[in-house]
Structure formats: structure tokens, C-alpha cells
Amino acid sequence: MKKIILSAIYLFISVITFAQTNPVKVADFFADFEIKPYNGDVMDTVYNTGVDVMLPVFVRFKLKVPYGSGNVNTMPQQCYASIMYEHANGFDFNPLPNNIYLNANAWTPLTGSLYSPYVKVDLTLYKEYLKSGKLKTYYMSEYDAVNRGWQNRLQASSTRNITVIQVPNFIGPNQICDEATYTIERPDVVTLENAVGVAMLTALGNNQWKVTRIGTANGSVKLRSTSNGKTFDKDIVIGTPAPTISGTSQINTVGEYGYIVSRNLPGSTIEYNLMLGGDVELIPVSDTQFMIKVVNPNTSGSTMAVKVRARETNSCGTSSYTIKNITLNGNM
């Protein structure tokens, strides 16, 4: 038995004239049954986040000849359409629990028109079967209200392509000292970025991957899942990489200048101090911010070097120092 991948939609219309005495075959009455994106895009993108997706579409009938002509004056007694989702693994359908009933006024074309009005239908794409594919429509009509005879289904030529982006959920630590196993829900193409010489990735199967530190290397890597050109990352700190210091590298006048030490991992400890400096002071502001205050202007005509260093400690150990080189202008 095929798996259910898309809810089918029952669409009923009531006749607005007397019951027809002569059968109107669906193949003679309809030219097509159209389906198009509700938002106007040629191809829709659906994000699979692990929940069912409600997808609105527009549907309408196309007649073989204009409504109201001598050949087509009445609508069939009832019409039925099933909208199915097809991908590489095949397709199937199942009625929605809340069937949609439409009256004749919603579907009857204007006189002289080949098309019925567009009607909005909300489809349910089940999370278990969300893959890129296309919506296809099958339809038939009832031509005899007394005997309730149904014509065989016809497949519409109008289809709608759907691109599904698998949005992963990464389960695992933000830091490793040696190795760790990660589970990825809804993975696609999984890689480890910025990892050369730092860490390696091993596929374990069952949506699990192992990230292993290379020797005593330190750094930051990204566990990445790519789906239809969209990338989703989990940042992982390997070992204890050194922090970074941001702020000006050139001081031209007397004053106070702010600097920020950026830690690699929340909750780690930052240490910073002044290594080398002439007439300057280091003023702590917080555990990750400080000021460099130029006390006396440098009027020697030669530049003066100032060095500030910082390091970071986390559960894997203490990093090497990061050194920030600052130059004082010689003509302040």
C-alpha cells in the first residue's frame, strides 16, 4: 500500500439548471483542470521544519468551448478533483477530513469564458513525506443526478512544481575537546566547514555524524547541511582557540579608545593585559572590554608601539595569547 503523501481534495459543485437528460462526458466538457501557485510564483519553496505544511493553491476548470455557447449551456451535476503530490518515490492520496463543498456560483464561468473562477484551496503536505516534487490533478464529473454516474478520471496537464528545503535540527555539543557525536534531524548533504587541520567528520549512519579533533588543534568549525542551495550551520568550537581583539590600530591624538575582546564560547573566561606601552594606560571596562588612554602626547616625531594581549580559558584548557598591535603617531 502506497504511503500517503498529500491530502486529496474533494470539490463539489451544484447544478444551476435542471438535470440533464443526455450525459455530458467529462472528456467532452473539460479541456483541463488548472492548478497554480496562490502567491504567483512559478515554483514554490516549502520549508520542512518537522511539522505539516499548509500550502494554499488556486484551482479552476478550463472548458473546451466557451460557457453559454450552444455546445455548453450547463455544468455537470457534480465535479470531483483529487490533487496529489508526486516525487521520486511515487504518489498517493487520501481525502481530507474536512471536505470542501462549493456551490455552483463559485465555479460557473461567465458567459463566453473558457475558465471558471479561481478558487483557493489549502493543501496539507504531511511532514513525513516532504520532498521536492510536483502537484498533479485528476478530475471527473457526474452527468446523471438520478443514477449518479461518474466518468473516469482524467489527468490534467497543468502541474505545479514544489521545491522542499529540508531545515535541519542539530543535536549535539557546541564544543569538543576530543570528539562528539551529532544527530541531525532532516539532514541533506552534510559537510564540515573550515575544518582543514582542525577536525574531521565521519558519517555513522542513522542521521548521526562524529566530529573528531585533530591532535591538539584549536579552531572553530561549522557542521553544515545543504538543501537545494540553502545552507544551515551549527558552530562548533574545537579545543581552545584564541580570542580576537577589535579596535583601532592607529592612534593619532590624546584621548581614550575602546577595545573589545570577542570570546569563542559563551561562558569562557577572558584575560587581557598591557604588554608594551609608553605613556598609555589600560582601563578595564568589563571582562571583555577595555580602554586605552593616551596620557601624554607623542611628540618625538617617531611612532610608538603599544601591545595588548588576551587569552581565553574554557573546559578544554587555556588558549595562546592574541596580541593587538597599536601604533601611536609621532606628531600628536
Domain presence at residue 180: yes
Same domain? For 61 and 134 the reply is yes
Give residues with Cβ within 8 angstroms of 229, minimum separation 6. none
C-alpha cell at 178: 576530543
Query: Is residue 103 scored above 80 in pLDDT?
Result: no
Residue 184 in domain: yes
Domain encompassing residue 253 = 244-328
1 part of a folded domain: no
Same domain, 207 and 268: no
Rounded to whole angstroms, the Cα distance separating 233 from 226 reads: 9
C-alpha cell at position 39? 502567491
C-alpha–C-alpha distance, residues 219 and 312, integer Å? 12
The verdict on 271 and 200 lying in the same domain is no
pLDDT (tens digit per residue) in 310-320: 999 999 999 99
CATH of the domain at 59: 2.60.40
The pLDDT-based confidence of 93 (bands split at 50, 70, 90) is: low
Provide the CATH number for the domain around residue 250.
2.60.40.10
Q: Per the domain annotation, does 63 fall within a domain?
A: yes
| 3-class secondary-structure state, position 244 | strand
Q: Does one domain contain both 159 and 30?
A: yes
As a whole number of angstroms, the distance between CA 304 and CA 329 comes to: 7
Biggest distance spanned by C-alpha atoms of the chain: 110
Closest CA to 264 of 291, 237, 303, 293: 237
The predicted pLDDT at position 18 comes to: 29
Task: Compute the distance between CA of residue 158 and CA of residue 136 in angstroms, rounded to an integer.
Answer: 7
The pTM of this model reads 0.77
- Regarding whether 141 and 187 lie in a shared domain, the answer is no
Q: Compute φ and ψ for 27, nearest 5 degrees.
A: -70, -25
Mean pLDDT calculated for residue range 79-93:
71
At 7 the pLDDT is 43
Residue type, 69: S
- Tell me the per-residue pLDDT of 3-60, one tens digit each, with 9 for 90 and over: 434 444 334 333 333 234 455 566 677 888 888 888 776 668 889 999 998 888 888 8
Interatomic CA distance for residues 215 and 233, integer angstroms: 24
Among the three residues 190, 208, 238, which one is the final residue of a domain in this structure?
A: 238
Residue 76 falls inside a structural domain:
yes
Regarding whether 173 and 162 lie in a shared domain, the answer is no
